[in-house]
Structure 1
Amino acid sequence: MDATTAAVSKRLPGLKKKSSSRSGLRNLVQGCWSYRSPVEKKPDPQPNLPQFSISALPDDVLLDCLARMPRAALQTAMMVCQKWRSILKSTEFYEMRKQNGRVENLLFVFGGAGTGFLSAVYCKSSGSWRAGLLCSGRSIAENDWLSGYHNENHALLHAQPAVIKHRIFILGANPCRFSKSVGIECTIVYDAWTKTLRRGAPMHCPRKKFACCVIADRIFVAGGANRNDSGRDAITDSEMYIPELDAWKPIASMPRKRYGGLGAAVNGVFYVIGGLKFSSTLWSSMQPYIYVASMDAFDTNLNCWQKTKVLPMDGCVIACTVVGRAIYMLTSHAVELSFWKYDTWDESFTRVKPPPIPSPLRIDNCLKFSCVTMGSDVYIIQVGGSIDDLLRRSGRNGRGYKEGLVLIYDTCTLEWSRGPDLPYVKNGATCTVVQC
């Protein structure tokens, strides 16, 4: 800067030094294009939608949703809330599952083994058995009344099952007399959905070897013998159980005594078939009892017993089941088995093709069969005893071997087939089918 310029600058303090051309261009560009930070575009506001939960659904819609759950999830669903629990325990829920095809037939076999209740479950769709304990050790610890049954080898030896929807009522189980529990005589209720046991009201008469059936969600029992009576005399007493009240009430007594009779229900009629009649000459006769070759029928609508029907077959009826309007009966004739069909509409008996068991048989005294229905098929399950002739034919020796035969009779094709053998269940006694 020369002297002249310096002097001018002193006189004119607003005068600045002239910038170079490059700086001027930069200033020009900056003046034209100023940096602006990007502005985030806000999304358009959404309309306020109401928030719904599954519990806010109408009851009929909620019922339909819950009815479509798999059976394995029902136990957990019952613990969600009180409303769900009440829905899942309702009759409407069970009927909705049936309409949706969510129920299937499961064959249960119960047996006591001294160390706990053993059970075996057969699923028709898979064609296989699954065995295990009916209740866990924790259940025993939490329920003192179970210990009397849990520790008894023959707790279910004379028990009878009755099924109402997905619940199995085990009647006449024999508790351990040495148990510390007081008043443990009861009806054992098993829920096939939740896999839990609970205690129900005991029968007025603690009986064994009695007949039972279910009609319109009511359990009917008749006959047998009083377990507390050392004389083991057959009785005619009959009772009815009301599940929602957990109470038994007496009904009209049978016209004759029956010990070991079998029960079946068709169209509101309770049939009591066969059985034994103990003789009054117990000590003077080598044959202290005789078979009762007849059956009595109790009409639940008329609340009375009808005329006795004579059975045409000889020997004793050892198992029976119902398919439609017909009662199928398995009978023993000392050295062979026969199979009969009784049509309740025209009251006719027909002898049908016997089960494929070779005869003559030397049947062990402990041999026991049970008959159940799955769909249109009759299942005959050997739940106890031994068949010596079958052991010899298969190359095995010895007595007392439990075969566990499962024979299936198709009532449509009238043919027999062999099912998978029953897993080992000691003292298997209670056998029934549940739709769950």
Structure 2
Amino acid sequence: MAESCNSRGFSWLVKSCFPNPQETRRGTTLVTRVSDKSPPENRHHQTTFASLPDDLLLECLSRVSPCSLSSAFLVCRRWSQILDSSDFYDLRRSHGHVHRTLFAVAFTDFGVYGASHRIDTNMPWKTTLFPAVEVVAPETFDGSFSHSRLTAIGRRIYILGRNATIRYDAWTGTVTPRSPMIFPRKKFAAAAVAGKIYVSGGAARTSAVEEYDPESDTWRVAAEAPRRRYGCIGATVDGVFYAIGGLKIGGPHVEATRGAGAEAHVYASTMDLYDVEAKAWLRSRAVPGGGCVVAACAAGGHIFVLASHAVELSFWRYDGRRKSGGFGEWCRVKTPPLPAQVRLDSTVRFSCVGVGDKVVLVQVLGSIDDLLRRSRRTCRGWKEGLVLVYDNDKGEWNRGVDLPEVIRRAACVCVEC
């Protein structure tokens, strides 16, 4: 079946899902009603999609165009169940119809916008108005997602806010409210490990690491973090949940001493490693050279960290493959080639996303104040929404397709759709 968005070509498929009213079912065989006087050689069987066994229907639907999937879910309950099954996802992936896609969500005064882009193409970002506001109560939505984190499991994106959680289905385009975290958090670490979501940091009153089960839509405390972090970043490699960077916050053990500021700064270049299966914390080395972690992600079995040293940036790779001989080793790699107009100050933010073996570095705005400074910098030729792609195999950076104008204060994630 050709991958086309032509609705006329899809209509016959939809109609064939419904049984022919002129047919009657005898046992498991559909036989067309014909006159008793008609000769046997003129009698024939007419098969519709409704009569196909699940395995054949699954094979046919796995070839449906991506832009027709949202319509296919609405045909009937049987189709919806098949399309929502893991067998359909695995078969569609084996046919090469599932692609790693970069997805960005921006919360603005004019609404919530989503944008998707495949980095292996030169096609522009596809921007749509995000329907999140319609499913979250206004009093909950206001301020809840100002510092949200995005994480993806398969085709579903989970947007984790301070007091609310919403799930976006990249195939159907539907948004569903889910259970919020147990403890309100802000600028915390989040990542998906083995089909579950783990969050840590961003809460001054607790060091709890929470685990979310998408099947039961429930949160529980999985562990207690060794350090309370604020502004940290989450990632995962080989069954380990990483809480990276950030500053020290809260806790009765924090004293207003002369060394408190120095200790908080040390947090900015360290990582906490939680082995999900063993339910234990692992030891790790801090980022060499110190600095402050401003962006991080996992890609190709490694953790990539972008560190700031006040006037310059450094880019590091950490081997997260526990069965390799180099587990836990740091290696400095090529620094992203940022334009000269980009200054390393409070107005510049970066979002780092792993897409397969590649690292995508996206420049985003960090606050409302950044928007006010935008016009002055734009006049000096400063480019916003910059996208750079790092190829780990080649060790080179390439320029990607810039973010669309409406997407500026964005959170980014890689989703399979």
Q: Normalising by the residue count of structure 2, what TM-score does the alignment of the two structures yield?
A: 0.79
1:421 and 2:402 matched: yes
1:290 and 2:288 matched: no
Following TM superposition, by how much is the alpha carbon of 1:45 offset from its aligned partner in structure 2, in angstroms? Answer: 6.1
Partner of 2:219: 248
Q: Secondary structure at 2:224's aligned position in 1? A: coil
Within 5 Å, which residues of 2 pair with 1:120-139? Answer: 120-124=115-119, 125-135=121-131
Amino acid in structure 2 at the alignment position of 1:54 = F
Q: Does structure 1 conserve the Cα–Cα contact (< 8 Å) formed by 2:300 and 2:356? A: no
Partner of 1:202: 180
| CA distance 1:248–1:278, change in 2 (3 Å) | closer
Q: Which moved more, 1:413-422 or 1:53-62?
A: 53-62
1:104 and 2:75 matched: no
Q: Secondary structure at 1:208's aligned position in 2? A: coil
Instruction: Give CA-to-partner distance per residue, 1:375-425, whole Å, 9 cap, x none.
Output: 3221100111579xx999x99349xx7711111111121111111221124
Partner of 1:261: 232
Within 5 Å, which residues of 2 pair with 1:309-328? Answer: 309-328=285-304
Q: Distance in 1 between matches of 2:46 and 2:341?
A: 74
Within 5 Å, which residues of 2 pair with 1:133-152? Answer: 133-135=129-131, 140=134, 143=135, 145-148=136-139, 152=142
Partner of 1:74: 69
Partner of 2:159: 170
Q: Distance in 1 between matches of 2:96 and 2:378?
A: 45
Partner of 1:46: 41
1:434 and 2:415 matched: yes
Amino acid in structure 2 at the alignment position of 1:421 = D
| CA distance 1:157–1:363, change in 2 (3 Å) | farther
Q: Does structure 2 conserve the Cα–Cα contact (< 8 Å) formed by 1:234 and 1:257? A: no
| CA distance 1:359–1:282, change in 2 (3 Å) | farther
Partner of 2:318: 342
Within 5 Å, which residues of 2 pair with 1:359-370? Answer: 362-370=343-351
Q: Does structure 2 conserve the Cα–Cα contact (< 8 Å) formed by 1:264 and 1:320? A: yes
Q: Distance in 2 between matches of 1:366 and 1:156?
A: 19
Q: Distance in 2 between matches of 1:384 and 1:220?
A: 26
| CA distance 1:284–1:161, change in 2 (3 Å) | same
Q: Does structure 1 conserve the Cα–Cα contact (< 8 Å) formed by 2:274 and 2:282? A: yes
Amino acid in structure 1 at the alignment position of 2:346 = N
Q: Distance in 2 between matches of 1:76 and 1:376?
A: 32
| CA distance 1:59–1:272, change in 2 (3 Å) | same
Q: Which moved more, 1:401-410 or 1:238-247?
A: 401-410
Q: Does structure 1 conserve the Cα–Cα contact (< 8 Å) formed by 2:122 and 2:401? A: no
Q: Distance in 2 between matches of 1:92 and 1:248?
A: 27
Following TM superposition, by how much is the alpha carbon of 1:429 offset from its aligned partner in structure 2, in angstroms? Answer: 3.2
Q: Secondary structure at 1:364's aligned position in 2? A: coil
Q: Distance in 2 between matches of 1:413 and 1:220?
A: 32
Q: Does structure 2 conserve the Cα–Cα contact (< 8 Å) formed by 1:168 and 1:191? A: yes
Following TM superposition, by how much is the alpha carbon of 1:359 offset from its aligned partner in structure 2, in angstroms? Answer: 6.5
1:408 and 2:389 matched: yes
RMSD across aligned C-alpha pairs, in angstroms? Answer: 3.0
Q: Distance in 2 between matches of 1:149 and 1:430?
A: 19
1:59 and 2:48 matched: no
1:332 and 2:308 matched: yes
Amino acid in structure 2 at the alignment position of 1:396 = C
Amino acid in structure 1 at the alignment position of 2:202 = G
Q: Distance in 2 between matches of 1:57 and 1:334?
A: 64
Q: Does structure 2 conserve the Cα–Cα contact (< 8 Å) formed by 1:335 and 1:360? A: no
Amino acid in structure 1 at the alignment position of 2:170 = A
| CA distance 1:285–1:273, change in 2 (3 Å) | closer
Following TM superposition, by how much is the alpha carbon of 1:278 offset from its aligned partner in structure 2, in angstroms? Answer: 3.3
Q: Distance in 2 between matches of 1:426 and 1:333?
A: 27
Q: Normalising by the residue count of structure 1, what TM-score does the alignment of the two structures yield?
A: 0.76
Structure 1, unpaired ranges of 5+: 1-41, 175-184, 226-232
Partner of 2:28: none
Following TM superposition, by how much is the alpha carbon of 1:166 offset from its aligned partner in structure 2, in angstroms? Answer: 0.7
Within 5 Å, which residues of 2 pair with 1:181-200? Answer: 185-200=163-178
Identical columns (%): 40
Q: Distance in 2 between matches of 1:166 and 1:155?
A: 24
| CA distance 1:291–1:131, change in 2 (3 Å) | farther
Partner of 2:32: none
Q: Secondary structure at 2:41's aligned position in 1? A: coil
Q: Distance in 2 between matches of 1:195 and 1:161?
A: 16
| CA distance 1:313–1:359, change in 2 (3 Å) | farther
Q: Distance in 2 between matches of 1:334 and 1:72?
A: 45
Bigger-Rg structure (1/2): 1
Amino acid in structure 2 at the alignment position of 1:135 = P
| CA distance 1:426–1:76, change in 2 (3 Å) | closer
Q: Does structure 1 conserve the Cα–Cα contact (< 8 Å) formed by 2:385 and 2:408? A: no
